[in-house]
Amino acid sequence: MDPLVHFLDGPHARRAFALRVAMSPPWALDVRDGAPLTIMAVLSGYAWLTADGDTVRLSAGDIAMVRAGDPYLVADEPLRGASIVIHPGQECTTLSGEPVRLSMSHGVRTWGNTAEGETTMLIGTYESDAEIGSAVTAALPRTAVVPSGEINAALLQLLADEISTDAPGQGSIIDRMLDVLLVHALRAWTAAHPDRTTGWLSAGADPVVGEALELLHTHPADPWTLGSLAGRVNVSRATLAARFRSSVGEPPMTYLANWRMLLASELLADARRTTARIAAEVGYGSPFALSTAFKRRFGVSPTEYRRRKYSASA
């Protein structure tokens, strides 16, 4: 089983925040957006990334994947004090709270303290775990860096060109290209760090867990229990539970519940699908049962989630 196939088939970017950032010294960004995952690709120059006390220098061609957590710093020098704060919703202000998003704009999806900076970066942010999925982020460390040369430069250039273009359908094109870049980055990082690969991305190394995941992903609506799943992969309940938790980081039924919620959140984008239909497609016996589980997971009902997230972009 290839877990990246399931990422491409499941929840993915939808109107993701994507930007070309151009900066010249001195500069420092205090990122407090709380986004589940951000991809940062350096096109030219360099940048220092500091998260959880660890600092890494990113050079041209390097790609960093940053998980949600405490605020982190991106700057031209590792000890530079922040001058700009990135808030949830990608609102940008000075330290005193003065908005700068518009004043630092330099054309289509280009932002920074200068139009053509010494350092240029592509920033792609998955702003909801319904877009990226907890299964992806849980498999990564706080920061994962893919060095220059591991990702085809043509892919980065194509994404850079698309981000700087304003044409019909551009948002969807950028979303899909961001997903492709993420898959390439995940693949390169896991190949280079097999000893650090955990959770969902490492599950394919265990054939029993891999087969179990294949069944859950392919047939999420089936009335799975630990016993029925163990029977399908020909091991005992105890063996499956232990091996699944060791590989994926959570019990099989917990994983299934999370996967069903992420699929439901994606299916809500289709206005033709009723809540009852979605409930059946993801394994809930009634719209009420789905709504209860969904509200517990996302804090709002499926109907409200659809209105907030998808109506505005319809």
Domains of the chain in start order, with CATH, are: 3-192 (2.60.120.280), 206-309 (1.10.10.60)
Give the angle subtended at the CA of 262 by the CAs of 260 and 264, to the nearest 5°.
Answer: 70
Residues 233-262 have pLDDT tens digits of: 999 999 999 999 888 778 999 989 988 998
pLDDT in tens, 261-293: 988 988 888 889 999 999 999 999 999 999 999
pTM for the model stands at: 0.74
pLDDT grade for 207, boundaries at 50, 70 and 90: confident
Rg of the chain in Å (alpha carbons):
21
Q: State residue 201's pLDDT score.
A: 64
Distance of CA 115 to the CA centre of its chain: 28
pLDDT, tens digit, for every residue of 126-157? 876 655 555 666 678 899 999 999 998 889 98
Q: What is the token pair recorded at 221?
A: 């609506």
Q: Are 20 and 120 in contact (CB under 8 A)?
A: yes
Interatomic CA distance for residues 132 and 144, integer angstroms? 16
Q: Give the pLDDT score at 137.
A: 67
Q: Please, which residues bridge with residue 190 across strands?
A: none
Token pair for 65: 């994947």
